[in-house]
Amino acid sequence: MYISQAMVRNTVESDIEGIKGVIEATGLFPTEMFEPIINPFFSEGSDGSIWLTLCDPGPIGAVYCVPEMMAEGTWNMLMIAVHPDYQNSGRGAQLVSELEAQLRLREARLILVETSSLEQYEQARTFYRKLGYVHEASIKDFYAPGEDKLIFTKPL
Domain 7-155 has CATH 3.40.630.30: yes
Say yes or no to pLDDT of 2 above 70: no
Which residue has better confidence, 141 or 37?
A: 141
Contact call for residues 134 and 152 (beta carbons, < 8 A): yes
- Average pLDDT over the chain reads 92
DSSP 72: S
Going by pLDDT thresholds of 50, 70 and 90, the confidence category of residue 132 is: very high
Cα–Cα distance measured from residue 48 to residue 57, given in angstroms and rounded to the nearest whole number: 26
Going by pLDDT thresholds of 50, 70 and 90, the confidence category of residue 148 is: very high
Cα–Cα distance measured from residue 145 to residue 128, given in angstroms and rounded to the nearest whole number: 24
Cα–Cα distance measured from residue 109 to residue 43, given in angstroms and rounded to the nearest whole number: 29
pTM for the whole structure: 0.91
pLDDT tens-place string over residues 63-101: 999 999 999 999 999 999 999 999 999 999 999 999 999
Going by pLDDT thresholds of 50, 70 and 90, the confidence category of residue 45 is: low
